[in-house]
Structures are given as structure tokens and as C-alpha cells.
Amino acid sequence: MAAMRRRTFKVLTFLLFFIFLTSFLLSYSHTMMTTTWFPKQMVLELSENFRKLMSYTHRPCTCTRCIGQQHVSSWFDERFNWSMQPLLTMQNALLEEDTYSWWLELFQVVPGNVDPLLEKKLGGCRRCAVVGNSGNLRESWYGPQIDSHDFVLRMNKAPTAGFEAHVGSKTTHHLVYPESFRELAENVSMVLVPFKTTDLEWVVSATTTGTISHTYVPVPSKIKVKKNQILIYHPAFIKYVFDSWLQGHGRYPSTGILSVIFSLHVCDEVDLYGFGADGKGNWHHYWENNPSAGAFRKTGVHDGDFESNVTATLASIDKIRIFKGR
């Protein structure tokens, strides 16, 4: 504490001295003849460098790039809501009326009071990889790079076995809904994305009685995921992504864009892999052998082009990095 106070005092002292010196030199250069010794432009450049230095000292994390850094982009600040919590818990299960109507109704099946992803230490650097399912991951050799992240998020039916060199083998969180579920390793947290109330009923049934085996298609009646490994994506957060980030485009967000915005809220640095078309312009899953299919892009419910523009904009303002593969 004492060291922190001494550091603060030194910074304030230096700041006051710098302001005095800058004011004096600006005044002098304005009233006297321009000299080559200390021109006004040099003072302005020093002022700008000092402003950047001061902003750096207030960075919310120790990463090279901090998602939480404010005032970098007005576009980002208008959309990013710091108060939104991405996971559903007993403490935040009550929905506002408009969210309640948008999602129809909330079936009261929620985890306990702890949201482990929000227990992020201030001043650290949590690096996250969000791994999509694009065919551009083939022959990318991104595997070790992906596995080096603290969190690795995957989605839907994405396999890793047989593709480790290119997509990695590590998974910490896997986003699914009943129709896209696949069995997960014991150490992987399942993040259920409840697009409909039946999805919450299904996860209860799948971990107990096994009575639900069909929604609009057959779904697993039983799953092996432990209850303490199940997290629920908050319905209000889905609406937040739809309203703030997608501006109402599409019927509802894809699991891809939900994963990206989710990661913005729980990570300090975010890298995207496996998003977009491959190098030949084909849209397909990396485990498919028919690269010209492109079926998953033409679902009719997601606005893939608008979602792609959102991620591209995030990359252009250095909030995320996108690795485009091959």
C-alpha cells in the first residue's frame, strides 16, 4: 500500500511539472520567434506521448491488447455493455419484461450462485481462443497456437480427434444446444445456449430421467456431462447480442457470434480461428469432405454477412484478432 502511494505521488508530481513546463514553452513559442531549439511541434508531440503513457497506466489488464480498454472506439463503446452477465445463475435469473417476452418465458432451471467465468482477477491477462468450424482450419497448423490460450471455446458438433494439428486438442468451454450436442471430455464445461424453453427442459431430462429424446429432430435422451460442468448462457445476454451487436439482423444470433461476444466479456484478449470462408471462398465445416456445400451458412435464420462485419470491425479496432487459415 505504501509503495502504491509513493508511486501515485511521483506520478502526480511529474504530471504537475509537465503541465507547468508545457504551458511555459507553449507560451514562449507563441510570444517569441520560432527557434530550432524547442519548436512548438515538439512540445505538442511530447504532450501526446505523455497522454498515451497516462492512458497505458490505467489499462485494465496486462495483455498486449486489452478488450476492456475504453475510449478506443466509439463504435465498440456504444455496443459493449459492461453490466451484462453472460451466464445464468440464481442471482440474475429474473428477466426484464421485454427480455421475458422476447424469450417467451423462463423455465426455472438454473445453476447455483457462482459464475466462475466472472471471477476474473483484475490486472491479469486471460487469453482466449474462440474456435469456429470453418474449413479454413484445414492445413492451418494452428493447433499448438490455439492450445496455448487459457480458455479455448468451441461450439456445436466440432470434433478435435484427428484434427489436433490444425484445430488443437484443448477445450475448456463448449457451446451447444440440444440439436448440436456432442459428448465432451470430463474437464470441459458445457455452455448450454437456450434458444427455446425446451432446451432447459432437455438439459434437466438429459441429466436425470432421460424422457426428452426429440425436439424438432432427435436429440440425445441422456448425456454424461456432470451437473457442476453445466453452465447456461443467459437468455438476456442472447437478446443483448441481438439488439446491441446485430442491430436486429437475422432472426436470432448464431452460436458463432454468441461465442465471440461471450468471450469479450470474460477474456482480456480474444483470438478467433475458423471463422469465414476458406481461401477458395468455400463455406464448409473443417471435418466435411464436400467443401462446396456451404449449407451451414445458408440457414435462413442468421445474417452471416452482418455477423462477419461485426467481427471484422472488432478486429479493425484491435479488440480481437482473426486468424484466417488457408
Q: 149, 166, 234, 302: which is the annotated catalytic residue?
A: 302
How far is the C-alpha of 86 from the C-alpha of 79, rounded, in Å? 15
249 is catalytic: no
Amino acid type, 326: R
Residue from 30, 100, 252, 273 carrying the catalytic annotation: 252
Torsional class of 27: left (φ above 0), alpha (ψ -120 to 50), beta (otherwise): alpha
CA 264 – CA 270 distance, rounded (Å)? 7
Nearest to 323 by CA among 140, 101, 51: 140
Q: What are phi and psi of 30, to 5 degrees?
A: -80, -35
Residue 14: closest CA among 42, 41, 50: 50
Rounded to the nearest angstrom, the gap between the alpha carbon of residue 284 and the centroid of all alpha carbons in its chain is 23
Closest C-alpha among 93, 134, 70 to residue 294: 134
Catalytic annotation on 234?
Answer: no
Positions annotated as catalytic residues are 252, 302
